Structure 1
Amino acid sequence: MNYLQEIEGKLVHDKLTEGGGCGGGGGGGGDTTTRIRRIWVRGPIIVGAGPSGLAAAACLKEKGIPSLILERANCIASLWQLKTYDRLRLHLPKQFCQLPLMPFPSNFPTYPTKQHFLDYLKAYSNRFDLKPIFNMKVESARFDHRSGLWQVKASTTTAAATPGAGLDKKSTNNHDDGRTEMVITTTTEYVSQWLIVATGENAEESVPEIEGIESFGGPIVHTSSYKSGEIFSGKNVLVIGCGNSGMEVCLDLCNYNARPSLVVHVLPQEMLGSSTFGLSMWLLKWLPVWLVDRFLLLMSRLLLGDTSKLGLTRPELGPLQLKSISGKTPVLDVGTLAKIKTGEIKVCKAIKRLSLHAAEFIDGKVETFDAIILATGYKSNVMTWLKETKMFNEKNGMPRKGTPNGWKGELGLYAVGFTQRGLLGASADATRIAQDIYDNCWNPHHHHNHSNTHNSVPFNSNPIIYYSSTNNHPTPPTPPHIN
């Protein structure tokens, strides 16, 4: 029996129980079961099944490297499937939004709709046979220097109907028919030589701190919960946020006869017959950023006019420099500017404070509103679970190294989806990560020695090969060096 067969022969299927198991003593009153199991993963562990995670997994698979994707939601691309509005479409041409190894279908429009993009992602996942583990929330990930492996703890919660007698009502769900749901939390510790953080820069809603926001009497909705403007028909709606989502939500509100207000700076979606983004990328091949910015601002003024007359003041930096320094994406006009010119969308100054049904702005004006929509974007949540601060900034959860060098950390840690350059940047990083792992660790023809347990063995089958059968924290067996 060779080494791998011996390891595979150690697979066990016993579920471990910690914390007293199902029972709460002799009375049978326990209602929460926590099961712990530990699994050694042959290839990289990928946290996040959004476009970035899928791209990383596909690039790895193309090189014969298996991976394990952990996803907290019940589907791939949960941000797109569960937290986007109905009229959403890509603001960039499809060639700048496709993932590695698979272009968009030729019959898709230049600017694919939300449904087009979701269909593409599902087809992408099917093509590369990507099967994330859903409903698995990563609680923590840390590098264990003793074993030389990443330890990723994730949990999933299920509810099982049980007879109602003897169960603690404080932590059970009681039904009218007498049934009680027992909550079962299964915690799994995955261990691997590599960890790929693919939760991206849009993992959690970003909610601003505004004086008086808790006293506002109407609904306050983040765009992650906004579907359409139908429920806001006939209402005064304040849209807080100056990005593409805010612009498009305002346009959608107008289409449902709502009266929106916002603050924003815009660029035309297309210039000289090409997308503004595509033209920018082409110009950057020959010209410095500051000169391309100056050109974009000049063309914007020619095409859109003097937007300052509409209350839209431009930042001092050009759109490309602003994106590079602050991460703020330039706003591309998709028809909202025309509504601003006709007065259907009101432009307001920055908010000073909110009250019961009104907002006071920094210019002293006070306006009444029935509802508020927070188009304030998203943020990274990496620092809530990754116990590592060398690669990621503790304040914003972004890689400390700027693009294009933020994808690789130390000790087998990688990041994808943090370039602040959208899907194009994520695709580039996914390709780099797969190549790096293959060249340095996986290629059977590349004799690469690692210290301690960072060894090189080309596995090609199911990545899950080891279960612990003890309640301790064992060090999984380590493959030998290839000699």
Structure 2
Amino acid sequence: MAHDHQKKDSMGKSRLVHGPIIVGAGPSGLAAAACLKQKGIPSQILERANCLASMWQLKTYDRLRLHLPKQFCQLPLMPFPKGLPSYPTKQQFLSYLKAYADHFDINPIFGKQVVNAEFDVVCGFWKIKTQEIMKNGDEIIIEYLCKWLIVASGENAEEVVPQIEGMEQFQGPILHTSLYKSGSMFCGKNVLVVGCGNSGMEVCLDLCNHNAHPSLVVRDTVHILPQQIFGKSTFGLSMWLLKWFSVQFVDKFLLLMSDLILGDTSQFGIERPKIGPLELKNLYGKTPVLDVGTVAQIKTGKIKVCKGIKRLAHNAVEFVDGKVENFDAIILATGYRSNVPSWLKGSDMFSEKDGFPRKPFPNGWKGEKGLYAVGFTKRGLLGSSIDAKRIAEDIETSWKSIKAKPLA
């Protein structure tokens, strides 16, 4: 009975936080905390995992490097250390994030899954309920109260796993890229990679490098651009050109250069969308793929391109064009989604459908009653930095007026 008593006891805890609560200790949450700290505003990060940047630490493959040059990926107020390559490795980026948290003395509370957050009109505070499962199976529920809530749980909170007919009959492993570390375990095997974004393309290349035989499912149209043009980053060059030219003009230039450098991808079964890469990104948040060597392997035939999947059987895959081929394993490079609607209640800031702020960039960062979002811009770490700075400035004005009065 004492055991039970402890469980009930732990449910009654309420803690007042004298500054914003930030949900999520990824790069976006750290950026927000640092920008607030610079203005003398304390904050508390609640993180469901047991480490900083859990997505980066636990759910990424070994060969991952940042896809954009480092100057577009550093967080506010602290640049990358000198001597890093243009495209830092996963380990270098994680070391930077740890140094960043240390530098700004950011100490998240780990192992706290936010299960519910809503604004209490009566007391005028956000009530954030967290759940922690102890090693002995006990559940600890704590409620935090604060004036400001910053959602930094990210665009990549939950894996998207498509339901494909015959999945339960397929004999080999089917794993999401969040569980893929390296191609070494697939040496000599036929592997089907589903999804042709940056992850799917890079996993295919990694499989090639480990002497596996990858095939890539390309269901939709996709823009593949070279990572560099004239020795300059394609992304950086695009940003520079956009200062002088229209999006449509820069898109035409990018497509012309891509055809010159990569060739016409449609002859390998990869069709480009009708809308240009930058315009498509602006309209729908769909990121073009930056090629790191995959296209060359598609050209040599080392990576086969397949149409969409119709169904799976015990060791075979039937495609929509009627082809049937045998595979030893399937890797789902099918991406991630936001999980905000599952825990944030009573606010219409985020869309129920996709868990993103309803207002498009650059206006999606601010909601009602002290609610904010950082890192939902579909513009990577650069977008997170912009959000973090705006949020800190916005909170600073109300912080100064409240600081004069006692909170409790």
TM range, smaller chain = over 0.9
1:280 aligns with 2:244: no
Say if 1:33 and 1:183, in contact at 8 Å, map to a contact too: no
Once the two structures are TM-superposed, the CA of residue 230 in structure 1 deviates from its matched residue by: 1.1
> In structure 1, what is the equivalent of residue 30 of structure 2?
54
Equivalent of 2:403, from 435, 457, 475?
457
What is the CA deviation profile of residues 109-168 of structure 1, one whole-angstrom value per residue up to 9, with x for unaligned ones?
000000010010000000000000000111100000111110000021213xxxxxxxxx
Once the two structures are superposed, what CA deviation does each residue of 1:26-79 show, in whole Å capped at 9, x if it has no partner?
xxxx99975431001100000000000000000000000000100000000000
Structure 1 residue runs of 5 or longer lacking an equivalent are: 1-19, 25-29, 160-181, 449-455, 460-476
CA contact (8 A) 2:7 2:140 kept: no
**Which moved further from structure 2: 395-404 or 360-369?**
360-369
Take 2:155 and 2:111, find their aligned partners in 1: how far apart are those partners?
Answer: 20
Match of 2:306 in 1: 348
Q: Is the 8 A contact 1:32 1:184 kept in 2?
A: no
Over 3 Å counting, the alpha-carbon distance change for 1:348 and 1:56 in structure 2 is same
Equivalent residues of 2:170, 2:314 under 8 A apart? yes
Of stretches 302-311 and 351-360 in structure 1, the one that deviates more from structure 2 is: 351-360
2:84 to 102, 108, 128: 108
User: Which has the higher mean CA deviation after the structures are superposed, 358-367 or 386-395?
Assistant: 358-367
Q: Distance in 2 between matches of 1:145 and 1:21?
A: 36
Deviating above 6 A after TM superposition, structure 1's stretches of 4 or more consecutive aligned residues are 30-33
SS at match of 2:389: helix
Query: Greater helix percent: which structure?
Result: 2
Distance (Å, rounded) in 1 between the aligned partners of 2:115 and 2:212: 41
Is 1:41 the counterpart of 2:22? The answer is no
Q: Quick check: 1:371 aligned with 2:329?
A: yes
One-letter amino acid of the counterpart of residue 106, structure 1: K
Provide structure 2 residue ranges, at least 5 long, that are not aligned to the other structure.
Answer: none
Q: Which of 95, 120, 127 is the equivalent residue of 1:144?
A: 120
CA contact (8 A) 1:21 1:33 kept: no
> Sequence identity of aligned pairs in percent?
67
1:314 aligns with 2:272: yes
- Aligned AA for 1:71? E
Aligned residue number for residue 178 of structure 1: none
CA distance in 1, matches of 2:9, 2:65: 43
1:22 aligns with 2:3: yes
Partners of 2:175 and 2:9 lie apart in 1 by 35
Rg: which structure is higher? 1
Q: Secondary structure at the match of 1:224?
A: helix
Residue type of the partner of 1:136?
A: K
- Partner Cα distance (2:100, 2:328) in 1: 42
Match of 2:40 in 1: 64
RMSD (CA atoms): 1.8
1:384 pairs, out of 316, 326, 342, with: 342
Q: Secondary structure at the match of 2:118?
A: strand
Partner of 1:442: 399
Aligned length: 404
- Residue 297 (structure 1) aligned with residue 243 (structure 2): no
Contact 2:10–2:140 (CA under 8 A) maintained in structure 1: yes
Q: Which residue of 2 aligns with 1:10?
A: none
After TM superposition, list the pairs within 5 Å mapping 1:176-215 onto structure 2. 182-215=136-169
Structure 1 residues 360 and 76, CA, compared in 2 at 3 Å: closer, same or farther? same
Query: Match for 1:457: what amino acid?
Result: K
CA contact (8 A) 1:33 1:185 kept: no
TM-score normalized by the length of structure 1: 0.81
